[in-house]
Amino acid sequence: MSDCCESQSISSYDLAVIGAGSAGFSAAITAAEEGAQVALIDHGTIGGTCVNVGCVPSKTLIRAAETLHGANAANRFDGITASARVTDWRAVVSQKQALVEDLRQAKYADLLPAYNSIAYLEGEAMFSDDGTLMVSGTVIGADKIIIATGARPALPSIEGIREVPYLTSTTALELESLPETLLVIGAGYIGAEIAQIFARAGVKVTIVSRRGLLPEAEPEISEALTRFFEDEGIEVVSGIAYDRIDASAGAVTLTVRDHGAERRISAEKVLVATGRAPNTERLNLPAAGIELSGNKGVRVDAQMRSTRDGVYAAGDVTGRDQFVYMAAHGAKIAARNALNGNSLSYDNAAMPAVVFTDPQLASVGLTEAKARAQGIDARSSVLTLDNVPRALAARDTRGLIKLVADARTKKLLGAHILAPEGADSIQTAAMAIKAGMTYEDLGATIFPYLTTVEGLKLAAQTFDMDVKKLSCCAG
């Protein structure tokens, strides 16, 4: 840790922020810019999940694996042959780690000297039963407090799981040598992303889950992505019940019930990717009158207030919207409300989300099922990528676009894109939903030709017409 991050003398603060990750820094900087004296409290490695063990390392290795796939898929163009292979995985991981360390220093540790009103206090924070905040046993005087302690990989309730040498999303991205085989337990976004990294690097990968790949996504998208994974040699096993897991002779074996029959699945390494658990246990929250929600996250209202007056929470520790940009967004609201009177509300109605598989899954708003569950008479359009000129030119039509709208008002409610460049298109849909546009509005908007985002226009037109009958740019 640099000198800027050494513990400073304890005094009284306008705001204390527990946790120095993305949410914590966002809250501290927001408060400092409004003239507050802030204590930023943390122990361990500064920077939190995203830069250290989440977004930065995973997306770096995803990009590395994409180069392998891109070269090996070059023969989709006539007259072109290319190939790529891993020659030194340790070097790939070392380069990734160097970027992590550079960004941690530049975006976290080196920022602190620019804010004279932020004191970095290194130590473990907890609440006393009367709500007093302490750091390593020393009382901290703070008018308001924000909890931003993040989350960690969660373990599923599988017999034997604590006795086997399992990987988490953190340790899997630190492996310096590739296993021959990998078993991934859990098929959410973390499991899906990491499974594809290792498969493209040459590892034989099997994914197992109760509900299938990306179960919260639109079913058309989950089914399509499952096919694409299987085309890359990834085995996807779903509809199973976990029985037990054992380790012996250099392998880990998971026993499941597959449609009533016992099945044993073995691999050299096993990755547990069954979600993340909020970091709340060591804070003594219930005793201090701070309630937890069903997923053990800090219960907050729309103003980011906990159930104890003067205490707020933001980011992954709340157990919702576990994306770094939503952590920062919620933390800004918490800081401003703590200092200025609770006038701001957290709104995730137009929150874009991306799963960095290939093709990428990008979504915003409601799925068709969630819209119907809210009592909305929803209708949808589904456009496969073989109707999008950009995909045809790239000779890569893996994917689809699904839009969800209110059948009565035609107002857009949700957009879901599965496409190689889907992540770069979702913000257009987010802005359309934020603006209250109808699918007719979106279909009448001018889009540039031969772009992936043009697929949104075509998907909007698909509600009322067959876009196969349009000439290029005729819409």
pLDDT one digit per residue (tens) for the chain, 475 residues: 444 444 444 569 999 999 999 999 999 999 999 999 999 999 989 999 999 999 999 999 999 999 999 999 999 999 999 999 999 999 999 999 999 999 999 999 999 999 999 999 999 999 999 999 999 999 999 999 999 999 999 999 999 999 999 999 999 999 999 999 999 999 999 999 999 999 999 999 999 999 999 999 999 999 999 999 999 999 999 999 999 999 988 899 999 999 889 999 999 999 999 999 999 999 999 999 999 999 999 999 999 999 999 999 999 999 999 999 999 999 999 999 999 999 999 999 999 999 999 999 999 999 999 999 999 999 999 999 999 999 999 999 999 999 999 999 999 999 999 999 999 999 999 999 999 999 999 999 999 999 999 999 999 999 999 998 887 765 5
> In terms of domains, do 266 and 281 share one?
no
Residue 22 lies in a domain: yes
The residues with which 151 forms a beta bridge, in sequence order, are: 278
How far apart, in whole angstroms, are the C-alpha atoms of residue 413 and residue 367? 8
Q: Is the pTM value of this prediction over 0.85?
A: yes
Query: Is 473 strand, coil or helix?
Result: coil
Tokens of 421: 């460049």
What CATH number should be reported for the domain holding residue 127? 3.50.50.60
Annotated binding site: 59, 186-193, 275, 316
How far apart, in whole angstroms, are the C-alpha atoms of residue 173 and residue 167? 9
**Which of 319, 329, 317, 412 shows the shortest CA–CA distance to 371?**
412
Describe the crossing of helices 454-461 and 426-434 by its angle, rounded to 10 degrees. Answer: 50
> In terms of domains, do 281 and 137 share one?
yes
For residue 259, what pLDDT is reported? 87
Residue 101 lies in a domain: no
**Which of 296, 303, 347 shows the shortest CA–CA distance to 321?**
347
**Which of 207, 203, 208, 209 shows the shortest CA–CA distance to 181?**
203
Query: Is 109 strand, coil or helix?
Result: helix
For residue 2, what pLDDT is reported? 41
For residue 473, what pLDDT is reported? 64
How far apart, in whole angstroms, are the C-alpha atoms of residue 297 and residue 294? 7
Provide, for the chain, the percentages of residues in helix, strand and coil under a 3-state DSSP scheme, each rounded to the nearest 5: 35, 25, 40
Q: Is 162 exposed, middle or buried (0-12, 13-18, 19+ CB in 10 A)?
A: exposed
> In terms of domains, do 168 and 237 share one?
yes
> In terms of domains, do 286 and 421 share one?
no
Beta-carbon contacts of residue 288 (< 8 Å; ≥ 6 apart): 127, 128, 129, 130, 131, 308, 311
For residue 471, what pLDDT is reported? 75
Annotated binding site for NAD(+): 186-193, 275
For residue 475, what pLDDT is reported? 59
What CATH number should be reported for the domain holding residue 384? 3.30.390.30
- Give how far the C-alpha of residue 24 lies from the chain's centroid of Cα atoms, to the nearest Å: 18
- Give how far the C-alpha of residue 378 lies from the chain's centroid of Cα atoms, to the nearest Å: 27
For residue 7, what pLDDT is reported? 41
Tokens of 136: 């390593």
For residue 11, what pLDDT is reported? 65
> In terms of domains, do 10 and 121 share one?
yes
Last residue of a domain, one of 247, 274, 301: 274
- Residue 151 φ/ψ, nearest 5 degrees: -145, 170
Last residue of a domain, one of 340, 367, 393: 340
Residue 208 lies in a domain: yes
For residue 10, what pLDDT is reported? 52
Tokens of 222: 């989950």
Query: Is 453 strand, coil or helix?
Result: coil
Which DSSP category does 442 fall into?
A: H
Query: Is 189 strand, coil or helix?
Result: helix
Which residue segment(s) compose the domain that 193 sits in?
A: 161-274
> In terms of domains, do 249 and 199 share one?
yes
How far apart, in whole angstroms, are the C-alpha atoms of residue 450 and residue 453? 9
For residue 5, what pLDDT is reported? 45
Residue 90 lies in a domain: no
Residue 71 lies in a domain: no
What residue ranges in 131-196 does DSSP mark as E strands? 133-135, 138-147, 151-153, 181-185
> In terms of domains, do 144 and 7 share one?
yes
8 Å CB contact between 35 and 329: no
Query: Is 381 strand, coil or helix?
Result: strand
> In terms of domains, do 321 and 336 share one?
yes
Annotated binding site for FAD: 59, 316
Give the H/E segment covering residue 126.
Answer: strand 125-127
How far apart, in whole angstroms, are the C-alpha atoms of residue 428 and residue 419? 15
> In terms of domains, do 296 and 362 share one?
no
For the chain, the C-alpha Rg in angstroms (whole number) is: 24
* Number of structural domains in the chain: 3
8 Å CB contact between 316 and 329: no
> In terms of domains, do 40 and 165 share one?
no
Residue 62 lies in a domain: no
> In terms of domains, do 390 and 370 share one?
yes
> In terms of domains, do 214 and 359 share one?
no
Residue 72 lies in a domain: no
Residue type for position 261: A
How far apart, in whole angstroms, are the C-alpha atoms of residue 149 and residue 29? 16
How far apart, in whole angstroms, are the C-alpha atoms of residue 160 and residue 242? 11
Query: Is 342 strand, coil or helix?
Result: coil
Last residue of a domain, one of 224, 244, 274: 274
Residue 458 lies in a domain: yes
